[in-house]
Amino acid sequence: MSLKLAFGLAVLALVCASGQQRASGYVLGPDDQIVIRALEGLDVGDKPVLIGTNGDITLPLIGRVEVAGLTVEQLETELVSRLKVYVKEPQISVTVTEFRSQPVSVFGAVASPGVIQLRGRKTLYEVLSMAGGPRETAGATISIVRLAENGPIPLPGATQDPTGRYSSAELDLKEILDGKNPSANIEIKPHDVISVSQGTDRKVYVVGDVQRFNLGGQRSLSVLSAVSLAGGLGHTARPEHALIFRPAPDGEKHQEIEVNIRQMLKGKAEDIALRPDDILVVPTSGTKVFGTVVQGILAGAVSAAIYAGAAH
């Protein structure tokens, strides 16, 4: 599944959930903006109320109210309790109109880097989805930095900086996307800083008779994985005659490595690990087209080689 598709499903779920404007369970904080509606007792109308930097608001009759740290429901209960002195059965509703107190910074190789405001409890996967998901050029790791006041990061290998003000951890991006390590999909806290690493510009190329072509920036990739990411073998493929063109250290010649993908699929041959800048060629039954592809590769025109393979 591609990064776009995987995160598209998560984004859809988030969009459906975003209609809950009352933000049940949301913990209020400084700079949040709320609207308080009362049938009687409070003369506030529908005017928004900004929670001050000290976490307080001031209301008619009631006076100063410590809001920071309360959920929407807890604030409603507190206001009802205070209004009972003046109104027999007060009815209060609180709506959050601006979420500003729980920022999370998401940087690096994501579609929409920047600051995201949490609305209730969110996992790492959900926050990445809110940032548009990793780009196709994303690297292999995600780093998280957390304020010490929010507790340690609950991950193996998490470390604390020498000042004791922060903790940090590094995760494998693929484990998060594939769901292979559910415990790594931790809850994200306000003021966390998340960074998705940038992939290297050095790539693995797959050309020839495959369903589509992949120019992935994977950190490590085997022959069978590359073929799978490229959509599988085509009808006219000759996988038993595949070749890996590997750049020589001097940059002048390519090393040719013969690979039998058919034997690999049967488990009778080792699945070879590809290196950055390797070019895996899966020939077709049309020798003319295959010759054109190889010629393009040896000439260094990778884009022309891909076009030739697609035109078989």
Sign of the alpha-carbon dihedral angle for 116, 118, 119, 124: positive
What's the CA angle centered on 208, arms 206 and 211, to 5 degrees?
80
Question: What pTM does this model have?
Answer: 0.58
Shortest CA distance to 242 belongs to which of 220, 225, 252, 227? 227
Q: Which residues of 206-222 are buried (b: 16+ CB within 10 A; e: fewer)?
A: bbbbbeebbbbbbeebb
DSSP reduced 3-state for 62: coil
pLDDT for 304 = 35
pLDDT tens for 55-106 read 999 998 889 999 999 999 999 999 999 989 888 888 999 999 999 999 999 9
Q: Would you say residue 195 has pLDDT above 90? A: yes
Sign of the alpha-carbon dihedral angle for 280, 283, 284, 287: positive
Mention every residue, 6+ apart, whose C-beta is less than 8 A from residue 151. Answer: 189
Structure tokens at 42: 């409070």
Query: Do residues 141 and 195 make contact, with C-beta atoms less than 8 angstroms apart?
Result: no
What's the count of helices (H) and strands (E) in the chain, helices before strands? 8, 19
Query: Do residues 270 and 264 make contact, with C-beta atoms less than 8 angstroms apart?
Result: yes
pLDDT tens for 122-135 read 999 999 999 999 98
Distance CA 41, CA 49 (A): 17
